[in-house]
Amino acid sequence: MSEWWSYSLSDLLMFSPRVYYRLFEGFNTAFWLPNLVLLACGIVFALLVWRRIGLAGRLVPGMLAIMWAWVAWGFLWRYYTPVNLAAPWMVGLFAVQVGVLIGHAVRPKDLVFAWRGDFSSFVGAGMLFAAIVVWPLAAPLSGRAWQGAELFGSAPDPTIIGTLGMILLARGTWRWTLLPVPVAWCLISSATLWVMDQDIAWVMLVVAWLSVLGGWMDQKNGVTRGRLP
Partner 1 sequence: MFREMTRRAFLARLAGGVALTAFAPYAMRMAFAQNATTPDLAPATVPAVQPDPENVLRKTIPSTGGNIPAIGLGSWITFNVGNDTALRDECAAVMAAFLDEGGIMIDSSPMYGSAQDVIGYGLARLGLPKSVFSADKVWISGGDNGPGQISDSLKKWGVAQFDLLQVHNLLSWQDHLPILQRMKADGQLRYVGITTSHGRRSDDLADIMRREPLDFIQITYNPQDRMAEQQLLPLAQDRGIAVIINRPFQGGRLTEYLAGKPVPDFAADIGAQSWAQLILKFIISHPAVTCAIPATTRVNHVRENVRAAHGPMPDAALRARIAKAVAEA
Interface with partner 1 by CB under 8 A: which residues? 1, 3, 6, 11, 13-19, 21-23, 25-26, 28-29, 32, 35-36, 39-40, 79, 82-85, 133-134, 136-138, 140-143, 145-147, 149, 151, 196-200
What's the closest the beta carbon of residue 100 comes to partner 1, in angstroms? 29
Nearest approach in angstroms of CB 75 to partner 1 is: 12
The residue (of 55 and 137) whose beta carbon lies closer to partner 1 is 137
- 68/135 with CB nearer partner 1: 135
32/174 with CB nearer partner 1: 32
- If we measure between CA atoms, which residue out of 185, 180, 183, 168 comes closest to residue 224? 168
Contacts of 90 (CB under 8 A, 6+ apart): 72, 76, 80, 84, 156, 185, 188
CB 67 → partner 1: shortest distance, Å?
17
Query: Is 156:189 a contact under the CB 8 Å cutoff?
Result: yes
Q: In Å, how far are 52, 90, 171 from 186, measured between CA atoms?
A: 28, 12, 22
Q: What is the DSSP code string of 34-88? A: HHHHHHHHHHHHHHHTTS--TTHHHHHHHHHHHHHHHIIIIIIIIIITTT-TTHH
Q: CB of 122: closest distance to partner 1 in angstroms?
A: 19
| Nearest-approach distance from CB 72 to partner 1, in angstroms | 17
Closer to partner 1 by CB, 18 or 220: give it: 18
**Alpha-carbon span 146 to 39, nearest angstrom:** 15
Nearest to partner 1 of 89, 216 (CB atom)? 89
